[in-house]
Amino acid sequence: MTSAIKHPRLERVRLVLAHVHEKLELDFAFQLWDGSVIPASAGMEQGLRLAVADETVVPRLLRKPNFKTVIDLYLSGGLEIRGGSLFDLAERRPQGKSKKLLRRLNKGLLLKSLLPLFFAPGQKEKARLDGAGSTAGTGSKKDDIAYHYDVSNRFYELFLDPEMVYTCGYFKDWSNDLATAQRDKLEMICRKLRLKPGDRLLDIGCGWGALICYAAQNYGVTALGVTLSEEQQALAQARIKERGLEGQVSVELKDFRHLEGTFDKISSIGMFEHVGIENHREYYLTVNRLLEPRGLYLHHAITRRGKTSDAKFNRKRPEYNSMLRYIFPGAEVDHIGMTARNLEAHGFEVHDVEAWREHYAKTTEHWAKRLEQNREAAIAEAGEERYRLWLLYLTGVSLAFSRGTLNIFQTVASKRSKGLSGLPPTREDLYE
């Protein structure tokens, strides 16, 4: 039987959480390390619960009350979601601005109850997965790419579609499955690039080779993909051989900036985020150098919302910095205005810009749910901490796109030259 005298820390936490639950009118329960549920109402022990796994969690949160601490606790199992998913917890979060919600709480009660816990002993913090701690663009360093993409091909197979497309799908109908959405995305890219037999296609950051194989099989192009991930190159080469595309499709483990020659069409699908804003000029100039006159370039990249000034845009929210630190070391995203400005400033003519925000919200929701369904296999392949990290990342990104915190655009541009572009007068052919 639990005793308030024997377990004073437990009772203090129980008192605080009961107060928070009541005042914020939460639609989920808390569960403490002794198994008790707050509030202790019928059915709460089976419903959605935020579980505090041990008595060191609250002292750690009090001493470092920031986003990083919450993530570290989730990754280590100190905080757990039971009876539901991260999506469920996000859906049931208290509505309203944080400052207004906090005003409902009794500050005196919280201070009296929590102050002794601030000085309570806690476990030594273990090192968490952290991609070298880099939160600024570094220009697609091989180590940064390997950190994210070389987890193992098997790990990604657990939540991606059969073609292993690790970028935003295209949903002609919101009820379509993931495989259909990704196949339709590959088709749309080929149409936007107006691919035709004999075209030389370069795919920068080709992943596991889905686009270059699809374009070669369905449009008769000769395709080269470049990647900095050894795992991706190995699987892509195996798939090229299986499909009899050797001599028509190839994948090189190479920084695209070191390529020579020119191409009729160039695609960059979900790679640009790794470049870093300081390296944008070099990136666009390189793409321009590699592209034939009037050649088409498809730029598919995540963006953030533009602000009224660069200074405001450069202020990054904690969750954004955490995504860069834990998931995409060295990555950085621009806004769509910066994309268009840079294209025009570096020798391109912009022809089409299409927003795919809601498509990526749906895509990442599929990925997160598929990963959670394959929890045991994912842990066996990559470890529980990485499984938790990727699940948190995929869920968080899906929510960010749903709420409009993040955006994504496909921009089609040509290498600028005098005279007409040679493109059709309308976009009707894209949607036949």
Ramachandran area for residue 342 (φ above 0: left; ψ -120 to 50: alpha; else beta): alpha
In a domain? residue 127: no
In this structure, are 327 and 251 located in the same domain?
Answer: yes
Domain CATH for 314: 3.40.50.150
In a domain? residue 131: no
Please give the structure tokens belonging to residue 209.
């080779």
By three-state DSSP, how is residue 408 classified? Answer: strand
pLDDT of residue 187: 98
pLDDT of residue 75: 92
Q: pLDDT, tens digit, for every residue of 115-126?
A: 888 887 665 555
Indicate if the pLDDT at residue 145 is higher than 70: no
Share of the chain above pLDDT 90, in %: 72
User: What is the number of structural domains in the chain?
Assistant: 2
pLDDT of residue 119: 81
Indicate if the pLDDT at residue 133 is higher than 60: no
pTM for this one? Answer: 0.89
Res. 135 pLDDT band, cuts 50 70 90? very low
**Mean pLDDT over the full length of the chain:** 89
In this structure, are 110 and 154 located in the same domain?
Answer: no
In this structure, are 65 and 207 located in the same domain?
Answer: no
Last residue in a domain, options 102, 118, 134: 118
Alpha-carbon Rg of the chain, whole angstroms?
A: 25
pLDDT of residue 5: 45
In this structure, are 173 and 218 located in the same domain?
Answer: yes
In this structure, are 220 and 314 located in the same domain?
Answer: yes
193 close to 267: Cβ distance less than 8 angstroms: yes
Q: pLDDT, tens digit, for every residue of 292-344?
A: 999 999 999 999 999 998 888 888 777 677 666 666 666 789 999 999 999 99
Range of the domain at 82: 8-118
Q: Kindly state the DSSP code that residue 161 receives in the 8-state scheme.
A: -
In this structure, are 90 and 168 located in the same domain?
Answer: no
Q: pLDDT, tens digit, for every residue of 68-93?
A: 899 999 999 999 999 999 999 999 98
Last residue in a domain, options 103, 118, 133: 118
In this structure, are 223 and 295 located in the same domain?
Answer: yes
In this structure, are 113 and 146 located in the same domain?
Answer: no
In this structure, are 162 and 114 located in the same domain?
Answer: no
In this structure, are 166 and 276 located in the same domain?
Answer: yes
**Nearest alpha-carbon partner for 334 in 289, 267, 276:** 276
Indicate if the pLDDT at residue 134 is higher than 60: no
Indicate if the pLDDT at residue 379 is higher than 60: yes
In a domain? residue 18: yes
